[in-house]
Structure 1
Amino acid sequence: MNISTSPPLQARGLHKSFHGRARVDGVGFTIESGRVVGLLGPNGAGKTTTIRLLLGLIAADQGEALVFGRRYRDLERPATMVGAVLDAGGLHPARTGREHLRIAAARAGVSVERVDVVLAEVGMTADADRRSGGYSLGMKQRIAIAAALLGEPKMLVLDEPSNGLDPAGMRWLRDRLRAFADAGGTVLLSSHLLSDVQDIADDIVVIADGRVVADVTLADAVATASGDLEGYYLQVTGIAGVR
């Protein structure tokens, strides 16, 4: 299959159970280039499990996930295709932010010169040589985002990337992701901050109880709920009366 003509991301009938309980039950959706897609759902709905399946971090019991027409593990240079942020807490506390990114660059086969570029891009140049054990959660999140950008990927997959960011950082992240998609990139963004998703998303996929309960454009979603993404989300997840 030709990567250049394949959708950036396809999930086809993904199933995954843990200890006999289905956490992902037939999840399927497709993401096109140049789009920001919000992946939404209640706690425990299966969002993070879905992301881990998409990136080949765990194996599906059934179904398949394709990244540019291939399984993630079959990509020749995955860092140039997909940048992911799954956990900002994975930094070694004794290493500096710069050291973390240099190690990540070496593992990804990316030039070390990219480290200074992404540090500047995420606003961490001044703190790059501090040990990460002294970083705030927001600073750790910026380093995690920098690592995702090292390979100049065509797609970003981000699980709660605004955790710990201050308002200025959240504004920067929204602008950066929107610009990335407008330049032809693709973004899959899992977040509980519906206002942020409404500000930048083109499409939304909502998961509840391990199943896709909505896969629509943002415009269509808010049109059915008087312009309110939160109202639509509460309706499709079956918790419309909960506040």
Structure 2
Amino acid sequence: MKLSAELKAFEKRLGYQFQTPRLLNEAVTHASMSTPNRDDNQRLEFLGDRVLGLVMAEALLNLDTKASEGQLAPRFNALVRKEACADVAREIDIGEVLRLGRSEMLSGGRRKQALLGDAMEAVIAAVYLDGGFDAARALIIRLWGSRTTSVKEDARDAKTSLQEWAQARGLEPPSYVLTKRSGPDHAPIFTIAAKLSTGQTASATAGAKRAAEQDAAAVLLAQLEQEK
């Protein structure tokens, strides 16, 4: 299987040339485009998440040999979470080469955080399977760049930050409620409301529940900041 012209251009942006083009083709194929003869990227995403985790754990240990587990954990979470993967994916424009079904195309799938993050993890797995762990490590360290060295001890995702905000004020932990689900089964869209016991709430929509929860928490945190 040969790569299309757009995937060859993507290889240059990625900084890695595949010996087995099939792996890259699979990495950029969303479940909405899978067929009996065309695999999607879900299995690669599963593997890539683990490869990314190992590389980041190793990098953080080497960067700060005296850091405790309590210091390393939030840094690690900030570097491997879906938002970070999606940010890197945008920098190398994975969205341009994603293979999506019609419904995902129409709903803006090329810009969705969850799809971009998943595709980034799948590409990492493809490089790992094609070139081995050293190739995957080199790719990750290069693409994540200064994120790895500049991540702060107090790095928190939005849900964690919102929970800590509530706890600091003696409130119950935030709740997350699914208020709407739309789209086909292979590409659902979730709307989640983040709620505080004070009655304050904010909603967000994404292609994965986890991403929608994070986005809703971020919106609510922004609202709380404006109310100060």
TM-score, length basis structure 1: 0.23
Bigger helix fraction? 2
